Amino acid sequence: MNQDIPYDFTIQNLGEGTIDSPLNVSYFTPDDRRILFNIDHRHYADLKSPDQTPLSVEVAGPRAKIFFDPAKTKAAIVTCGGLCPGINDVIRAVVMELYHRYGVANIVGIKYGFQGLIPKYRHEVISLLPDGVKDIHAVGGSILSSSRGRQDIGEMVNALKRMNIDILFCIGGDGTMRAVEFITDEITRRNLNISIIGIPKTIDNDLNLIQKTFGYDTAISEAVKAIECAHVEAKGAPMGIGLVKIMGRQSGHIATGAALALSDVNFVLIPEVPFDLEGESGFFKVLERRLLHRCHCVILIAEGAGQELMHRENDTIETDASGNLRLQDVGPFLKTRIETHFKKNNMEVNLKYIDPSYTIRSVPANASDSIYCGALGQYAVHAGMAGKTGMLVGLMKDEYVHLPLKMVASGAKVNPDGNVWMRVLESTGQPPSMKN
């Protein structure tokens, strides 16, 4: 997060809740229940809200008074961006909470992301009822499908108004949340009573302020399976190398987590720690020493690692439909360069390359993620029914909280000087630096 932007955790409301909640619970969460944002004493004095009170964050949960009348409420759900384990779990949780707990019977799904709100695409809108979603958590992907790319904000708000949507639940990553912020601003400008609630989705686990994003635990579990296969292949031949490429566009959280979950990895290459290939301190020399000493090796590389090496050889820079930098494929690049290097040095290696990225994205959520997704969906419904808007639900300091959209963005990195990376270095035995 840009430190020049002041922290402001004020949550926008459509109006005062005047309707008694239909929930039969033993407690309700008051709006004044908050947790301190920072508990590190060294930095506490530097973190103050605009009115100079200690920074705190609103805790999520059911409110005793709600804004929307359940019998008259129409809710919609949309999923955007890339696939991720757990999307269907979130959809299911939102539908079940709305229908069974609040009595909201009018729930629709917007197909193919924000394209579904643009008339020219002619995507269908589907009804979402408990019978239709009760088993979807066992299936990967999104039953609503998804899409990338920017859409006209005014057209999307027109569609929400035309469809009489009261609450829109948006499941997506950093780009989606930026779009959701613009949608909220346009709704506020028009003075419409439409609640917009975000549920953060990024398998890379790289959102600032969010303790963990859903799909991450499943990604680690699935990555470990690929690493196990790479280890078997590497040990199955003389001078065997198992090379596994894993997700992680701008951060190496999945790679580091998978390496720590399984001690068979010998090298972890991530975007946060640049490396050289050639030279006495470069990766190739370190890899040679490992192979000569142990005769096999497992390398785990995040998809965003080594991009600067490829850009030196190819100056073409492209972006995808959402404006994200289109990464060059580091897996085949590194495979080719390793094989070329050892051939040039008259050393025979047996390299097996594994890319499980799309397999990992498409599997159903594991038990840990499924529990987390269920909680996110439920807390999102509580917020929407209470008239909150322009916010997302997330986990912070083991509490589910409400965060303004403008406060959350991608960019949480693995700290090369932090404890996690130190543990990776201890687990793999790789040198702290492979730069000349």
Structure token digits, residue 108: 């629709």
- The DSSP code for 20 is E
- CA–CA separation, 21 and 102 (whole Å): 8
297: enclosing H helix or E strand: strand 296-302
102, 104, 110, 114: CA torsion to nearest 10: -60
Residue bearing tokens 């539908």: 95
- CA–CA separation, 403 and 32 (whole Å): 14
Structure token digits, residue 351: 């390299």
Of 120, 97, 119, 121, which is closest to residue 107 (Cα–Cα)? 97
DSSP string covering 90-133, please? Answer: HHHHHHHIIIIII---EEEEETTGGGGGSGGG---EEE--HHHH
Q: Which of 204, 206, 264, 369 is catalytic?
A: 204
Q: Which residues contact 261 (CB under 8 A, 6 or more apart)?
A: 220, 221, 223, 224
Of 168, 30, 155, 156, which is closest to residue 107 (Cα–Cα)? 168
- CA–CA separation, 247 and 250 (whole Å): 9
Q: Cα 354 to the chain's mean position, in Å?
A: 23
Neighbours of 325 (CB within 10 A): 13
Structure token digits, residue 224: 């470990």
Q: In angstroms, what CA-CA distances link 18 with 65, 69, 168, 329? A: 6, 9, 21, 54
131: annotated active-site residue: no
Whole-angstrom Cα Rg for the chain: 24
Active-site residues, by number, are 204
